[in-house]
Structure 1
Amino acid sequence: MRFPAICAVLAGMLLASTAGAESVIELNPGLGPADGAKPVDVTRYEPRRDGKYKIGFSNVFTGNSWVVQLLEEAKWRAAGLPEIESYIVTDANFDPAKQVADVEDMLAQGVDAIIINPTSPVAVVPVLEKAYDAGVVVVIVAADAQTEKATVRILADQVKFGRDGGEFLAKAMGGKGKVIALRGIAGISVDTDRWAGAAEALKAHPEIEVVGEVYAQWAYDQGRKACESLALAHPQIDGVWSSGGAMTQACIEVFNELGRPLVPMTGEANNGFFGAWKENQAAGFDSIAPQNPTWMVAEGVAAAVGVLNGQEIYTQYKVIAEPYTAKDLDTLYRSDLNDSYWVGSILPDEKLKELYGN
């Protein structure tokens, strides 16, 4: 299943209810209930008499184009849900203490649901459990937190993301050589899990050595600095494992600028990266692009409303997505949009062109 096809039907849009004024929430078909997931016990949550809800989203940071698109999609999704009377967004800027304070402030404002992309799997747990025990819908999205007291989880398989990249790299390198790693943000479960998957795949090949790794926040500018530093420090590099974001595009450019032969690198489903991949195919460059859809938070907003409406929503969803490969490039790359566009957006095309049009 490919997300451009899904988006063609505006997956996840609202359908009119035949039973009353409330909406029936249709989640993106790119989501499926995770193994062992059960329907949420909606009797824990008391809907407002007027059917209007106050929803809060606690974001981890706004430091790269993936998050910017995520915010736009969540705002667009919230605007399409008539039950939402107030939609509050905060930015923790990597700081767990600030994120805890942000959630406390949301509770003080009387939110009916909190959607959170956690800064830390541990630090936010007490405030999330406080919210859950108070009857607030708690939806954990994108990165995980170590608590059972969550209403809904919407997560991609980040270990698979890293493993898919590691297996591609090992095969492309013939099972031997030196690898550098571009990591995301230290301590965030997404990066930790991705690297665990990659390390597992690479460990199966004793002749592959990881000679250096740097955290570069999934960002283009930080990726450039990290890749240049590693390239200058290591005269032999046979492969680049990347935790994704815009870092791989930056690393391709660094290798070209330094006159280094392009080696296999792993990436993510970003338009700038796809463009760089296409431009360098003639030089023999190849890659793989695991997916981590920007629409997960938008679906978290919709799932929260579904729970408050008393609809059947499951306790945990997984993203159903296989990595993109070279055969997908011509279909996915959009020359009419700039590098910041992430493939598979649920935003209408006119909004995408407004945000990313060249």
Structure 2
Amino acid sequence: MKTWKHAAATAAAAAAALGLAACSSETVAGGGQDDGTYVIGYDSYFVGNTWSAQLEAEFTSATQREADRIADVIVTQSDNDAQRQISNVQSMIARNVDAIIVTPISPEGIAPVLQQAEQAGITVVLNAQGADTDAYASYVNVDDEDFGATGAEWLVDKLGGNGRIIAINGLAGVPTSDLRFAGAKKVFDAAPGIEIVSTVDGGWDQATTKTAVESVLAANPDIDGVWSQGGSMTLGAIEAFEAAGVPLVPMTGEDSNGLLKKWQALTEAGDTGFDCIAVAKPTWISARALENTLAVLDGEDVPKDEILDPEVITAENVGEFVRPDLPDSLWVNTEMTDDEIRALFAS
């Protein structure tokens, strides 16, 4: 299985393979070019895990498909640093780009600079994360509370409304993680027979989650289910159960190919204790953000807030989504071609 470090290191290589590296043109933008094309600024908020690396790669793939409408693409890297992101957006404003697509690291902290961009006549589109301001033309995301609730509802139903569970979050304080757990917690609070034995932060990382769940199981081996908000974390939970010799239980997850492969293998092996639902926040959100950006620049109407319903993979359709021929690191709900995927996760 490819690690997040590998995905981060190859994100730029994948962009080059697609024919679109981050550009540094001095083209003067603002209102479009004489030929009707545009200069697009894109801030890559993080490439420290496979989902965020694929989010950027989906954007790069989409710019290739729209190459005849784009004069230049200016990509900055924020490395999950809110202050760096603010500086990156300020730099794009100074370069007078036509549009800025950004995934806010700090929804509150970035608000003033987005207001500056709007005042400068630059189209702002929020990509997979909101901001505490109305200074944007379009916002594309999956409702993260619904994401968390969707898995929780499945788990409560699977357990018949009763059971002791482990809840696995990403990172406390990260809006996506907090919102997903808030959605799940509402469901669990409405099911008095469900007891959350332990809530752990898995950091969206398989090894970290395995260690955390092993510690929980050492003190509480009688677990009936696992709510997890990430595919790699669900894999780590499975490994922890297997290492502890504890029978597998129903678990929620996400649409990572590695989890789907393991899920299919367990099903084929006849493990009747395990079942799963994979909830998807698709990485093609960045491609939709670009689509909306170009539409706004062309003077078309787009939804200001395009909040998508989470998509799900269940036991009934997992075989339609799992890709045994592609890397574990792939997020299967993608618009990228197989060649683009292999370039992103190349060994």
TM-score by length of 2: 0.84
Match of 2:82 among 93, 96, 120: 96
Contact 2:31 2:98 in 1 (8 A): no
Contact 1:115 1:300 in 2 (8 A): yes
SS of the residue aligned with 1:274?
A: helix
Alignment of 1:39-188 (within 5 A): 46-81=31-66, 82-188=68-174
Match of 1:340 among 326, 329, 339: 329
Paired AA for residue 314 in structure 1: P
Give the paired residue count: 314
Q: Which residue of 1 aligns with 2:248?
A: 262
Give the whole-Å Cα distance in 2 for the aligned partners of 1:237 and 1:89: 46
Matched, 1:283 2:268: no
C-alpha displacement at 1:273, in angstroms?
A: 0.7
Give the whole-Å Cα distance in 2 for the aligned partners of 1:262 and 1:149: 47
Contact 2:146 2:309 in 1 (8 A): no
Give the whole-Å Cα distance in 2 for the aligned partners of 1:335 and 1:90: 33
Q: Structure 2 vs 1, CA of residues 230 and 91 (structure 1 numbering), >3 Å: closer, same or farther?
A: farther
Q: Which residue of 2 aligns with 1:251?
A: 237
Matched, 1:194 2:183: no
C-alpha displacement at 1:257, in angstroms?
A: 1.8
Q: Structure 2 vs 1, CA of residues 184 and 331 (structure 1 numbering), >3 Å: closer, same or farther?
A: same
C-alpha displacement at 1:153, in angstroms?
A: 0.6
Q: Which residue of 2 aligns with 1:209?
A: 195
Paired AA for residue 145 in structure 2: V
Give the whole-Å Cα distance in 2 for the aligned partners of 1:223 and 1:57: 32
Match of 1:272 among 228, 235, 258: 258
Q: Structure 2 vs 1, CA of residues 326 and 97 (structure 1 numbering), >3 Å: closer, same or farther?
A: same
Q: Structure 2 vs 1, CA of residues 171 and 85 (structure 1 numbering), >3 Å: closer, same or farther?
A: same
Q: Which residue of 2 aligns with 1:330?
A: 319
Paired AA for residue 96 in structure 1: A
Give the whole-Å Cα distance in 2 for the aligned partners of 1:92 and 1:231: 37
Contact 1:163 1:194 in 2 (8 A): yes
C-alpha displacement at 1:256, in angstroms?
A: 1.0
Contact 1:244 1:268 in 2 (8 A): yes
Contact 1:337 1:357 in 2 (8 A): no
State percent identity of aligned pairs: 38
Give the whole-Å Cα distance in 1 for the aligned partners of 2:340 and 2:146: 31
Paired AA for residue 63 in structure 1: G
Contact 2:292 2:302 in 1 (8 A): yes
Q: Structure 2 vs 1, CA of residues 172 and 199 (structure 1 numbering), >3 Å: closer, same or farther?
A: same
Contact 1:336 1:357 in 2 (8 A): no
C-alpha displacement at 1:141, in angstroms?
A: 1.5
Give the whole-Å Cα distance in 2 for the aligned partners of 1:228 and 1:78: 43
C-alpha displacement at 1:327, in angstroms?
A: 0.6
Match of 1:234 among 216, 220, 225: 220
Contact 1:142 1:190 in 2 (8 A): no
| 1:109-135: CA deviation from partner (whole Å, max 9, x where unpaired) | 222111111112211111111111211
Contact 1:56 1:113 in 2 (8 A): yes
C-alpha displacement at 1:208, in angstroms?
A: 1.6
Give the whole-Å Cα distance in 1 for the aligned partners of 2:70 and 2:216: 48
Identify unmatched segments of 5+ residues in structure 1: 1-44
Matched, 1:295 2:284: yes
Q: Which residue of 1 aligns with 2:14?
A: none
Q: Which residue of 2 aligns with 1:29?
A: none
Contact 2:279 2:313 in 1 (8 A): yes
Paired AA for residue 73 in structure 1: E
Higher relative contact order (CA 8 A, sep 6+): 1
Paired AA for residue 315 in structure 1: K
Give the whole-Å Cα distance in 1 for the aligned partners of 2:106 and 2:172: 10
Give the whole-Å Cα distance in 1 for the aligned partners of 2:33 and 2:200: 48
Q: Which residue of 1 aligns with 2:17?
A: none
SS of the residue aligned with 1:180?
A: strand
Give the whole-Å Cα distance in 1 for the aligned partners of 2:84 and 2:161: 44
Give the whole-Å Cα distance in 1 for the aligned partners of 2:113 and 2:77: 16
SS of the residue aligned with 1:90?
A: strand
TM-score by length of 1: 0.82
Contact 1:167 1:201 in 2 (8 A): yes
C-alpha displacement at 1:320, in angstroms?
A: 4.2
Contact 2:154 2:277 in 1 (8 A): yes
